[in-house]
Amino acid sequence: MREEVLELLAEICEDDGVKEDMELELFESGLMDSLGFAEFLVELEEQFEIVISPSEVERGDINTPEKILALVEARR
């Protein structure tokens, strides 16, 4: 599961670095933006049946691969 979510994240960010560095700042580094986040939510729902609402999480709660994994883990 962890690997699959990271794979999805790498695909959305178009950067394999997100699989290595769990503390990588996703929004400030420009790897992720509102659009990427929307695409990520759609894939989470379609691939893993995990529904997260776009207004539910603050940017500060999802700005690193580690935090995203924690959120997905909590929702399984």
Partner 1 sequence: MSYYEGLPFFLLLVLVLLVAAVLGWMEKPLGQYGFVVSLIFAALIFGGKPESLFYLLLFYGWSMLLIFGYARLRSRQGRKAGVYHAVVLLALLPLVLCKVTPLFHLNIFGFIGISYLNFRVIQILIELYDGVIKEVSFAETTAFLVFFPSFSSGPIDRSRRFGADWSRKLSREAYMELCGRGCWKLLLGAVYKMVLAAAAYKVMGYFETGHIWYQWVVYAYAYGAYLFFDFAGYSLMAVGSSYILGIELPDNFNLPFISKDIREFWDRWHISLSHWFRDFVFTRFVMFSAKKKWFSSRLQRACVGFFVNMGIMGLWHGVSVSYILYGLYHGALLAGTEVYQKKSSFYKKYKAKKWYQAASWFVTMQLVMFGFFLFSGKLVELIG
Q: Give me the residues that bind partner 1 (CB under 8 A), please.
A: 33-35, 37-39, 41-42, 45-46, 53-56
Q: How far is the CB of 40 from partner 1 (least distance, A)?
A: 10
Query: Smaller CB distance to partner 1: residue 4 or 75?
Result: 75
Q: CB nearer to partner 1: give 22 or 51.
A: 51
DSSP class per residue in the chain: -HHHHHHHHHHHHT-THHHH-TT--TTTTTS--HHHHHHHHHHHHHHH-----TTTS-GGGSSSHHHHHHHHHHH-
Q: How far is the CB of 69 from partner 1 (least distance, A)?
A: 21
